[in-house]
């Protein structure tokens, strides 16, 4: 687990913070995320706050919307609280690593079969949302949380909450990740095509370890579909269902996102998930306020 800093909150609502989910100095993280436990010790959660310098009201509105969603593959939001100046939301804890931490644990880019599973599952989640007119608007490497049962999309609406109004106002979060589609940088609203562009950026990062790799850096088997997702022309980007079909030919639609069955992960990633789980279980609540 990542140590708390002196400026981190000791309490968020009814929860006592135990550690930060994201490593110190992590870039491209659109929320402040903490592993926390209820004061009575009965509940362990992942609790999230808006980013420093962000608009708390816009962020809280997206969190409320996320709490109403039941889409498979979306990280669940079960409780929202706080004030207009200090909103938060909480999700039940399960061992999970943000995608940058997955690459760090693995020691570099992920193997192609894992990238295909990751991308196919995320594409299926987006497809199930897009058919209902729901745009995620927060797809980025840090927003992908990998569990023993596969990836989930967190940070719902994070891009909308930053109120992108043009390149000069684009938050560093999205520039750092390469997930901001050109039309969004020019001020267009976040839409389904923007989700697909961001998905392509996530896959490119998972396969290369770079946020904006050159085409030739992407493994040959993934190059065409990743390049199509990252097309500068929004109309030329594939629908998520096609991304799923390209990455996992023959996969049964509806069998991936939100699965409760374990998936095959590299040993060092499994070890990192297990280590986090053990440290959270062993963490004691502070005996006094920090």
- Domain check: are 249 and 137 in the same one? yes
Is position 1 within any domain? no
Strand partners, 35: 19, 46
**What is the pLDDT confidence band of residue 290, given thresholds at 50, 70 and 90?**
very low
Residue 252 lies in a domain: yes
Q: What is the pLDDT of residue 165?
A: 39
User: Does the pLDDT value for residue 164 go beyond 60?
Assistant: no
CA distance 269 to 271: 5
Query: Domain with 20 in it: what CATH number?
Result: 3.30.200.20
- For 262-276, the pLDDT digits (tens) are 999 999 999 999 999
pLDDT for the residue 175: 65
Task: Give 18-27 pLDDT, tens digit per residue.
Answer: 999 999 888 8
What is the predicted pLDDT for the residue at 163?
58
Is 277 inside a domain boundary?
A: yes
Asked if the structure places residue 28 within a domain, the reply is yes
Domain shared by 79 and 89, yes or no: yes
* Cα–Cα dist 245/248, whole Å: 5
Are residues 91 and 17 part of one domain?
yes
pLDDT of residue 169: 41
CB count, 10 Å around CB of 123?
31
**228 within some domain:** yes
Q: pLDDT tens for residues 50-95?
A: 988 788 999 999 999 999 999 999 999 999 999 989 999 999 999 9
- The number of domains in the chain is 2
At which residue do the structure tokens 């880019």 appear?
Answer: 109
Kindly state whether residues 224 and 127 are assigned to the same domain.
Answer: yes
Say how far apart CA 177 and CA 199 lie, in whole Å: 11
Cα distance between residue 285 and residue 41, in whole Å:
8
Q: pTM for the complete prediction?
A: 0.94
Q: Average of pLDDT values for 233-258?
A: 94
The answer on 171 and 125 residing in a single domain is yes
User: Residue 159 sits in which domain range?
Assistant: 97-263
Tokens 């594939």 belong to residue: 238
Q: Is the pLDDT of residue 116 over 60?
A: yes
Label residue 134 exposed, middle or buried (CB < 10 Å: 0-12, 13-18, 19+): middle
Between strands 44-49 and 32-38, the pairing is: antiparallel
Indicate which CATH number applies to the domain containing 259.
Answer: 1.10.510.10
Please indicate, yes or no, whether residues 137 and 277 belong to a single structural domain of this protein: no
Q: What is the pLDDT of residues 197-221, one digit of tens each?
A: 999 999 999 999 999 999 999 999 9
Length of the chain (residues):
290
- Are residues 148 and 255 located together in one domain of the fold? yes
From residue 287, give the alpha-carbon distance in Å to each of 16, 53, 284.
Answer: 11, 31, 9
Is 80 exceeded by the pLDDT of residue 288? no
pLDDT band at 172 (very low <50, low <70, confident <90, very high): low
Q: Name the token pair of 201.
A: 């950026």
Percent of the residues in the chain that have a pLDDT greater than 90, as a whole number: 79
Is the predicted pLDDT of residue 168 greater than 50, yes or no? no
pLDDT tens figures, 179-195:
999 999 888 999 999 99
Alpha-carbon gap, residue 188 to 238, rounded angstroms: 19
Given a cut of 60, is residue 119 above it in pLDDT?
yes
The answer, yes or no, to whether residue 1 has pLDDT greater than 90, is no
Are 15 and 109 in the same domain? no
Both 190 and 227 in one domain: the answer is yes
Is 171's pLDDT higher than 60?
A: no
What is residue 107's three-state secondary structure?
coil
| Claim to verify: residue 229 and residue 169 sit in the same structural domain | yes
Is residue 116 situated within a structural domain?
yes
57 and 161 share one domain: no
To the nearest whole number, what is the mean pLDDT of the chain? Answer: 92
Nearest-angstrom CA–CA distance, 244 and 212: 22
Do 117 and 214 reside in the same domain of the chain?
yes
Q: What is the pLDDT of residue 233?
A: 97
Taking 80 as the threshold, does the pLDDT of residue 124 lie above it? yes
Residue 2 lies in a domain: no
Strand partners, 38: 15
Average pLDDT (145-172) is: 77
Is 287 part of any domain? no
Question: If we measure between CA atoms, which residue out of 78, 190, 209 comes closest to residue 126?
Answer: 190
What pLDDT score does 174 carry?
65
Residues 15 and 85: their CA atoms lie apart, in Å, by 18
C-alpha closest to that of 243 among 219, 258, 226, 230: 226
């Amino acid at each position: 687990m990542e140590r708390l800093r002196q400026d981190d909150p000791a309490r968020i609502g009814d929860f006592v913070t135990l550690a930060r989910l994201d490593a110190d100095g992590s870039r491209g993280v659109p929320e402040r995320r903490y592993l926390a436990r209820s004061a009575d010790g009965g509940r362990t959660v992942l609790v999230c706050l808006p980013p420093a310098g962000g608009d708390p009201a816009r962020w809280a509105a997206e969190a409320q919307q996320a709490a109403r969603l039941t889409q498979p593959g979306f990280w669940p939001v079960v409780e929202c609280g706080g004030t207009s100046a200090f909103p938060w939301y909480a999700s039940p804890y399960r061992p999970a690593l943000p995608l940058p931490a997955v690459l760090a644990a693995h020691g570099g880019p992920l193997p192609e079969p894992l990238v295909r599973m990751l991308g196919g599952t995320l594409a299926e989640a987006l497809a199930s949302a897009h058919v209902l007119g729901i745009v995620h608007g927060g797809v980025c490497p840090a927003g992908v949380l990998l569990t023993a049962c596969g990836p989930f999309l967190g940070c719902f609406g994070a891009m909308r909450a930053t109120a992108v109004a043009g390149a000069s106002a684009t938050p560093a979060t999205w520039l750092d990740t390469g997930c901001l589609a050109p039309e969004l940088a020019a001020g267009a609203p976040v839409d389904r095509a923007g989700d697909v562009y961001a998905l392509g950026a996530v896959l490119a990062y998972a396969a290369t370890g770079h946020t904006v790799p050159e085409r030739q850096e992407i493994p040959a088997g993934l190059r065409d579909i990743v390049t199509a997702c990252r097309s500068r022309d929004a109309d030329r980007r594939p629908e998520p269902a096609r991304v799923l079909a390209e990455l996992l030919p023959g996969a049964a639609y509806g069998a991936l996102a939100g699965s409760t069955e374990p998936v095959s992960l590299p040993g060092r990633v499994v070890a990192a998930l297990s280590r986090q789980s053990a440290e959270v279980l062993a963490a004691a609540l502070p005996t006094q306020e920090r």
